A and B are shown apart, each in its own frame.
Chain A
Amino acid sequence: GDSVTQMEGPVTLSEEAFLTINCTYTATGYPSLFWYVQYPGEGLQLLLKATKADDKGSNKGFEATYRKETTSFHLEKGSVQVSDSAVYFCALPYTGGFKTIFGAGTRLFVKA
């Protein structure tokens, strides 16, 4: 069945470091892929998305490319800030029905 696997956290980085959070998926067909971000005390909000293979989603300096060959959608940012400290979730729509499959979430801490 459909699934999402993302790297376990927490990830701790210094400000201005490079960030990669790995996400791989299993799905029937080629669904849209999403990254959500959850700041402390808040609900999830969409960070970026890609709707087809080779698409690159980007927002707030974050990027992720939909890789069909490696079934991956890794999240990257060239220079993280303290304000990027949050939990990041990779997600895809369940192709068998009306649900979204979320990864377990990766907590990011950025130190000044």
Chain B
Amino acid sequence: NAGVTQTPKFQVLKTGQSMTLQCAQDMNHNSMYWYRQDPGMGLRLIYYSASEGTTDKGEVPNGYNVSRLNKREFSLRLESAAPSQTSVYFCASYEDRNTEAFFGQGTRLTVV
């Protein structure tokens, strides 16, 4: 049982480049989330999808877009990367909001 799989694990981008972070879960969960984690800042919610076909902004959505491709997959896109987007990105899924979150291993992104 793979749980939540994120790709890639590491990435270095130049300012202005674009990229898509991929996330897939095999637990048939309805809700999927993207967080970023910066030193001393804890977790901050970027976007979430409460169910297939819906997406909503979190606390820090600027500079990002998301796509809920199907029930399994939820991607995060950086259209024009900026150094301020250097962070560790985590995808998580939930069966419903009152249950535990399952996290991926994270993507460590550096924008130079």
Q: B-contacting residues of A (Cβ < 8 Å)?
A: 31-32, 34, 36, 41-46, 49, 89, 91, 93-94, 97-100, 102-105
Contact = CB atoms under 8 A, between A and B. Distances in A.
Summarize B's interface: helix, strand, loop or mixed: strand
A32 B58 CA distance: 21
Contacts, number: 52
B98 A99 contact: no
Interface in B53-112: 56, 58, 90, 92, 94, 97-101, 103-106
Contacts of B41: 104
Given A98-B31, A98-B50, A99-B58, A44 B101 contact: yes
A102 B105 contact: no
A105 B50 CA distance: 25
Given A98-B31, A98-B48, A102-B43, A43 B98 contact: no
Nearest to A98: B50
Interface in B17-47: 31, 33, 41-43, 45
Given A43-B106, A98-B97, A100-B94, 13 more contacts: A43-B4, A43-B90, A43-B105, A44-B90, A44-B92, A44-B101, A46-B100, A89-B42, A93-B98, A97-B97, A98-B56, A102-B42, A102-B43
A99 B42 contact: no
B91 to A, nearest CB: 9
A36 B58 CA distance: 20
A89 B97 contact: no
A45 B45 CA distance: 17
B59 to A, nearest CB: 9
Contacts of A93: 97-98
A40 to B, nearest CB: 11
A94 B48 CA distance: 13
A99 B100 contact: no
